[in-house]
Amino acid sequence: MICPRCANEKTSVKKTMKGFKNTRLRKCEKCGYVWLTEEKPVKDKEIIEYLEYLEDIGEFKK
């Protein structure tokens, strides 16, 4: 991960909070800047199309 303040590539994860999306507390080893990042799953296009198909035929409802 690149530091958003000084663009240093050497950063570390200080804490991870897991859930539907993972939130990580990161720190730059050079300037000491601390920030949060969020990681969330990306929906696969094929899965979306399949769910839409199931909705169309009445097998799945949102």
- 16-53 burial by CB neighbour count: b if 16+ within 10 A, else e? eeeeeeeebebebeeeeeeeeeeeeeeeeeeeeeeeee
For residue 12, what is the DSSP state?
A: E
Pairing mode, if any, of strands 11-17 and 34-39? unpaired
Encode pLDDT of 24-62 as tens digits: 999 999 999 999 999 987 778 888 888 888 888 987 666
DSSP, res 9: S
Residue 16 has pLDDT above 80, yes or no: yes
> What mean pLDDT comes out for the span 8-26?
94
